Amino acid sequence: MFTDFFYILRQNKVPVSLVEWMTLMEALAKGHIKNLDEFYFLARAILVKSEAYYDQYDIAFQQYFQGVEAPEEIAEQVLDWLKDPLSRLFLSEEEQAKFESMDFDELIKELEKRLEEQTGQHDGGGHWIGRGGTSPFGHSGYHPAGIRIGGQPGGRHAVQIAQERRFKNYRSDLTLDVRQIGMALKKLRQLRRTGLEDELDLEGTIKATAKNAGDLDFIWQRSRKNTVKLLLLMDVGGSMEPFAMLCSQLFSAAHSSTHFKDFQYYYFHNCIYDYLYKDVEREDAVSTVHLLHTLEPDYKLLLVGDARMGPWELTERYGAINYYERNEIPGILWLKRIRDHFSHCVWLNPDDPRFWIHATVQMIGKLFPMYSLTLGGLEEAVGKLVVAK
């Protein structure tokens, strides 16, 4: 039942699993869903893991249920009858039960029939297309399985709820907050068994005890510890000023995370040269050569910047915009050294991807996999960092 709906959800990139789908089928089998409205909300609650997919869910729902809404060819005169809502009436339990049993095809046929027969405006009734009554057609009234025509939703019982698409802004390409960044960075964890054998292997102990005729035989194992080390290098100042808050959120999430064996961070301006800096003001300098000598290649490297600068800043000696940098080695060569040293590197760009056509952005994009600093982009970048090489 509803098997095609499962595939339409997947086609719209809603990550529905078979386990979740079987849970929904179980809910249907137990009678927890009595009408299409309840199906819409319960299915969304069971199948959709994040509000980021609510809009895709609504689109899939529309596609499967054929965009349930009044026919487009409704006469203008009928719409005029429905302009102003009047008092609302409510169905008795018997009437509600009767209408809930009516399927969508029956509703459409009945609507077409009444469009042909109706000759005037009706308010407060239960049959004709009208306002404020219990007819399944019209608005500002009450019906458990009706088709709203004109006006605003009344009891919110129109068959087609999804068409309103109230979650268009809940998308995975929106910018981030600290919690979302923290959740994405959490996926960097790599738990490995290291150190002394100080953790009881319960399953091994049970098997060993059984083989030992019931006498306890304790089996110990190394505990699982997170081995991930993260290096964060962030561009600050100049064209990065509009993104200062976003970058601050990224830093806060990474700095407060407990998911890393080690976390180090440094700042630069436009491009990396002979020195990186421990502070935003770029006064406390650390030799880039020293970092490359002391940090192991297994650090996960996350570079953040818009990659936009004068071409000379990237390709020429002494091209740094800060006169006191006096870089003997061009920035592009420093970036290549950094890329070659660390086994896993990604670049997060907070700027709109439409502006990535800039010359230096494209040059840096050839050195590092570049992702947008959005929820979707960060998740892709984290996925790239955890892939084994």
CB atoms within 10 A of CB 134: 23
Residues 90 and 30 in one domain: no
Residues 136 and 249 in one domain: no
Give the pLDDT confidence score for residue 351 in this predicted structure. 92
Establish if 219 belongs to a structural domain.
no
| Rounded Cα gap, residues 183 and 195, in angstroms | 27
Residue 306 contacts residue 243 (beta carbons within 8 Å): yes
Percent share of the chain, pLDDT over 90 = 23
Residue 14 contacts residue 47 (beta carbons within 8 Å): yes
Establish if 186 belongs to a structural domain.
yes
Residues 82 and 185 in one domain: no
What are residue 148's phi and psi, to 5 degrees?
-75, 135
Establish if 214 belongs to a structural domain.
no
Tokens of 187: 């996926």
Residues 182 and 330 in one domain: yes
**Nearest Cα to 88, choosing from 145, 139, 128, 136?**
139
Establish if 205 belongs to a structural domain.
no
Establish if 202 belongs to a structural domain.
no
Establish if 201 belongs to a structural domain.
no
Residues 240 and 349 in one domain: yes
Domains in the chain: how many in total? 3
Residue 84 contacts residue 131 (beta carbons within 8 Å): yes
Exposure string of 75-107, with b = 16+ CB inside 10 Å and e = fewer, is eeebeebbeebeeeeebeeeebeebeeeeeeeb
Residues 19 and 144 in one domain: no
Query: pLDDT tens-digit profile of 222-233?
Result: 666 667 888 999
| DSSP assignment of 88-130 | -----HHHHHHHHT--HHHHHHHHHHHHHH--S-EES-SSSSE
| Residues of the chain under the 70 pLDDT cut | 1, 34-35, 66-184, 188-198, 222-226, 258, 388-389
Residues 241 and 92 in one domain: no
Helix (H, G, I), strand (E, B) or coil at 62: helix
Neighbouring residues of 26: CB distance < 8 A, sequence distance ≥ 6: none
Tokens of 234: 């962030």
Residues 157 and 267 in one domain: no
Query: pLDDT tens-digit profile of 4-27?
Result: 888 888 888 888 888 888 888 888
| Rounded Cα gap, residues 164 and 319, in angstroms | 54
Residues 252 and 108 in one domain: no
Residues 311 and 243 in one domain: yes
Establish if 170 belongs to a structural domain.
no
Range of the domain at 120: 76-164
Q: Which residue has the tokens 């979707």?
A: 376
Residues 318 and 357 in one domain: yes
| Rounded Cα gap, residues 329 and 318, in angstroms | 8
Residues 259 and 373 in one domain: yes
Establish if 146 belongs to a structural domain.
yes
CB atoms within 10 A of CB 53: 23
| Rounded Cα gap, residues 137 and 108, in angstroms | 10
| Rounded Cα gap, residues 187 and 254, in angstroms | 12
Tokens of 40: 């819409």
Can you give 261-326 as a three-state secondary structure string? CEEEEEEEECECCCEEECCCCCCCEEEHHHHHHHCCCCCEEEEECCCCCCHHHHHCCCCCCCHHHC
- pTM for the full model? 0.52
